[in-house]
Amino acid sequence: MQPYVEFKDVCKRFGDVHAVSDFSLTVARGQFVTLLGSSGSGKSTSLMMLAGFLTPDSGHIRIDGRNVIDVAPNRRNIGLVYQSYALFPHMTVAGNVGFPLRMRNVPRAEIAARIKEALRRVRLGDFAERFPSQLSGGQQQRVALARALVFSPAILLMDEPLGALDKNLREEMKIEIKRIQRAAGITTIYVTHDQEEAMSMSDVVVVMNNGRIEQAAPPMELYERPANAFVANFIGSANVLQGSMVVDQGRDCFVTAGGNSLPVMEAASITGRKKALVIRPERIAIGDPSAGGIPARIESVLYGGVMIRYVMRAGDERIDVLETNRGTPPRAVGDSVSLAWDTKDALLIDL
């Protein structure tokens, strides 16, 4: 992959706080890459260093092969969309969208044509003369997106752009942003703490924790093959059972800290003793006690409409299970059951 954006060993401190440490990442031209993490994980700091509003203490940042550490923000050809929209309330929609072009001394006739095209792209062609106060939150966000794209930037940066919207608007805007990004073919780096946003929109998700990258991979790889226990717990729901590998009657088995012996794929321990077994709740099947799986008892039932979540107790282990709602009454608290799963769905990882 030919890198278009490249972070190399980037570090940033604020006093004694290491906001970003040894941050290395490459982004290909046209990719949609999301920095995902909780507050304080370093994702927004990384974005602001790429935008030029913060300077790294060490390391390099390159755009299309050019080191931009000493390049002013207005010379990096980057469009930026904030959570707060940052629209000028005294300007019309057209005035807001055209602002970056006026700052670049683009001829007036060209400005008008580019505003029209930018608003068409975000489906706000009939809103040019309205003011921000006359728009919904989703419409204001689309105006902010049009303003970021109107000058044809090389890179689009988006910092929690959907954080101020309600759930329905967020769902709508996820579709719109991805549609616009794909149509424009623009390299996009997106920041969010919302894993559903990250997983549904991105080509690559970068999971950050305490200023470092835990794993960077396509969404499906992150979910199916988390690199460690942090990623497994952060992306979706996971049962992360601690224990160790043993050989029982010639077969590899994982013995949990609570004493349960769980089957794993053949030769799973070739690379050494692992420390945790990850099983996604939806990959576990619930059967009758006589079914021959792992004996368990239902501690609680959480009805979620589409899915039903069961909290099970198997010895000393808590195991969460998700079942699709088939329209039949859920199982009852206190029921004895057995649990089973395909060994290919049980992933051995380091803690």
In tens, the pLDDT along 205-242 reads 999 999 999 999 999 999 999 999 899 999 988 999 88
Domain range 237-349, its CATH number among 2.130.10.10, 1.10.10.60, 3.30.450.20, 2.40.50.140: 2.40.50.140
Among 293, 276, 294, smallest CA distance to 347 is for 276
Beta-carbon contacts of 56 under 8 Å, excluding residues fewer than 6 positions away, are 10, 11, 12, 20, 49, 69
**Mean of the per-residue pLDDT values for the chain?**
90
- Which tens digits make up the pLDDT trace of 114-164? 999 999 988 899 999 999 999 988 899 889 999 999 999 999 999 998 877
Q: Provide the pLDDT for residue 273.
A: 60
DSSP E strands in the chain: the ranges are: 3-14, 17-28, 32-36, 58-63, 66-67, 78-82, 155-159, 187-192, 204-209, 212-217, 239-248, 251-256, 261-263, 276-279, 285-287, 294-303, 307-314, 317-324, 336-340, 346-349
The distance in angstroms from the start CA to the end CA of the chain is: 30
Compute the 3-state secondary structure of the chain and give helix, strand, coil in percent, each to the nearest 5.
30, 35, 35
Q: State residue 274's pLDDT score.
A: 57
Q: What is the CATH number of domain 3-226?
A: 3.40.50.300
User: Using CB atoms within 10 A of its CB, is residue 224 exposed (0-12), middle (13-18) or buried (19+)?
Assistant: middle
Residue 150 CA to residue 211 CA, distance in Å, equals 32
Residues of the chain with CATH 3.40.50.300: 3-226
Residues of the chain with CATH 2.40.50.140: 237-349
Euclidean distance between CA atoms 295 and 310, whole angstroms: 14
Phi, psi of 248 (to 5 degrees): -120, 110
- Model confidence at 47: pLDDT above 80: yes
Q: What are phi and psi of 203, to 5 degrees?
A: -80, -40
Please report the pLDDT score of residue 1 as a whole number: 60
Q: Determine the pLDDT at residue 271.
A: 47
- pLDDT confidence bin for 17, thresholds 50/70/90: very high
Residue 3 pLDDT class (50, 70, 90 cuts): confident
- What confidence tens digit (pLDDT) does each residue in 271-287 have? 446 578 899 999 999 99
Which pLDDT does position 82 carry in this prediction? Answer: 86
Phi, psi of 161 (to 5 degrees): -70, -20
